[in-house]
Structure 1
Amino acid sequence: MGEGARRHIDATERRDRLALRHRLAAATRAEGPEEVAGSLVALHGTDPATVHLAVGARLADAAKTVGETERALYDDGTLVRMHGMRNTVFVFPTELTAVVHASTGRTVAARERARLLKNMAEAGAPDAAWLTEVEESALAALARRGQATAAELARDEPRLKEQYVYAAGKSYEGVHTVSTQLLRVLGAEGKVVRGRPLGSWTSSQFRWAPAPEHPELDPGEAQAELLRRWLAACGPATEDDLKWWTGWRVTEVRRALTAIDAEAVSLDGGTGYVVAGDAGPVAGPGEPWAALLPALDPTAMGWQQRDWYLAPELRPALFDRSGNVGPTVWWNGRVIGGWAQRPDGEIVWRLLDTEGVGRDAETAIGAEAERLASWVATTRITPRFRTPLERELSA
Structure 2
Amino acid sequence: MIELSWAQVSARRLERQALAAPRTGGTQADVVAAMCGAHAQVMSAAELSIALRIDGLTRADVRRALWEERSLVKTYGPRGTVHLLPARDLPMWVDTLSRIPFAHNGFPEGIRMTPEQTVEVIEAIRVVLDGRDLTIDELSDAVVGATGPWAGDLVMPAFQTMWPRWRQAMAAAAHHGALVFGPPRGRKVTYTSPPPASAVPAPGAGGRPDEGASRDSGPVDGAVELLRHYLAGYGPATPDQFAQWLGAPRAWAARLFEAADAEPVSFEGRTAWVVRGDTAAPAQAPAGVRLLPYFDAYVVAGRPRELLYAGAAAARALAAGQAGNFPVLLVDGGVAGVWHQRRSGRRIHVTVETLRPLTRARRAELDDQVTRVGEILEGKPELTLGPVAVGPHA
TM-score by length of 2: 0.79
| Change in 2 beyond 3 A, CA 1:250/1:130 | closer
Q: What stretches of structure 1 of length at least 5 have no aligned partner? A: 1-5, 381-387
Which has a greater percent of helix? 1
Q: Say whether 1:209 aligns with 2:192.
A: yes
Q: State the secondary structure of the residue aligned to 1:143.
A: coil
Amino acid at match of 1:247: G
Q: Secondary structure at the match of 1:391?
A: coil
- How big is each residue's C-alpha offset from its partner over 1:190-240, in whole Å with a ceiling of 9 and x where there is no partner? 2111122345xxx7x521011343245984222211111111111112333
1:126-205 to structure 2, matched below 5 A, reads 138-144=125-131, 146-154=132-140, 156=142, 159=145, 162-166=152-156, 175-178=162-165, 180-199=167-186, 205=188
Aligned residue for 1:8? Answer: 3
Aligned pair 1:351/2:334, yes or no? no
CA shift digits 1:49-76 (9 cap, x unpaired) = 22101011111113xx223222222222
Aligned to 1:383: none
1:312 to partner: Cα distance: 4.5
TM-score, normalization by structure 1: 0.79
Amino acid at match of 2:78: M
Q: Matched residues in 2 for 1:188 and 1:103: separation?
A: 8
* Greater alpha carbon shift after TM alignment, 371-380 vs 20-29: 371-380
Look up the match of 2:214: none
Distance 1:181 1:274 in 2: 36
The corresponding residue for 1:310 is 309
> Among the aligned pairs, what percent are the same residue?
22
* Structure 1 residue 22, shift from structure 2 partner: 0.4
Deviates more, 1:340-349 or 1:14-23: 340-349
Deviations along 1:7-66, one digit per CA (max 9) or x if unpaired, are 21111111110221000122645553212112212111222222101011111113xx22
Q: How does 1:240-251 map to 2 (within 5 A)?
A: 240-251=240-251
1:191 partner letter = A
Distance 1:24 1:176, change over 3 A: same
Q: What's the offset of the Cα at 1:308?
A: 2.4
Cα distance in 1 for partners of 2:305, 2:97 equals 24
Matches within 5 A, 1:21-60: 21-26=16-21, 28=23, 31-60=26-55
1:235–1:138 CA distance, 2 compared to 1 (3 A): closer
Structure 2 equivalent of residue 80 of structure 1:
73
Deviation at 1:372, TM superposition (A): 0.5
Identify the residue that residue 370 of structure 1 maps to in structure 2: 371
CA separation of 1:162/1:133 partners in 2, compared to 1, >3 Å: closer, same or farther?
same
Shift of 1:368: 0.3
Give the structure with the larger strand fraction: 2
CA distance in 2, matches of 1:101, 1:229: 15
Aligned to 2:129, the other structure's residue is in SS state helix
Distance in 1 separating the partners of 2:64 and 2:41: 19
Opposite residue 89 of structure 1, the aligned amino acid is V
* CA gap 1:78/1:153 in 2 versus in 1, 3 angstroms: same
The Cα of 1:367 is off from its aligned counterpart by 1.0
| Contact 1:43-1:90 within 8 A present in 2 as well | yes
Q: 1:197 to 1:342 in 2, by over 3 A?
A: same
SS at match of 1:61: coil
Aligned-partner Cα distance in 2 for 1:295–1:147? 28
- In the TM superposition, residue 378 of structure 1 has moved relative to its aligned partner by 4.7
Correspondence for 1:222: 222
Amino acid across the alignment from 2:152? E
Question: 1:119–1:166: 8 Å Cα contact kept in structure 2?
Answer: no
Structure 1 equivalent of residue 276 of structure 2: 276
CA contact (8 A) 1:150 1:179 kept: no
Q: Give 3-state SS (helix, strand or coil) of 1:80's partner.
A: strand
Q: Using a 3 Å threshold, how does the CA distance of structure 1 residues 31 and 379 change in structure 2: closer, same or farther?
A: farther
| Offset, 1:182 | 4.1
Gaps of 5+ in 2: 205-217, 382-386
Counterpart residue identity of residue 28, structure 2: P
After the TM superposition, which of the residue ranges 31-40 and 368-377 deviates more from structure 2?
Answer: 31-40
Contact 1:102-1:219 within 8 A present in 2 as well: no
1:176 aligned counterpart, secondary structure: strand
C-alpha contact (below 8 Å) 2:15/2:21 kept by paired residues: no
Change (3 A) 1:132 1:263: closer
When the two chains are superposed, the root-mean-square deviation of aligned CA atoms in Å is: 3.5
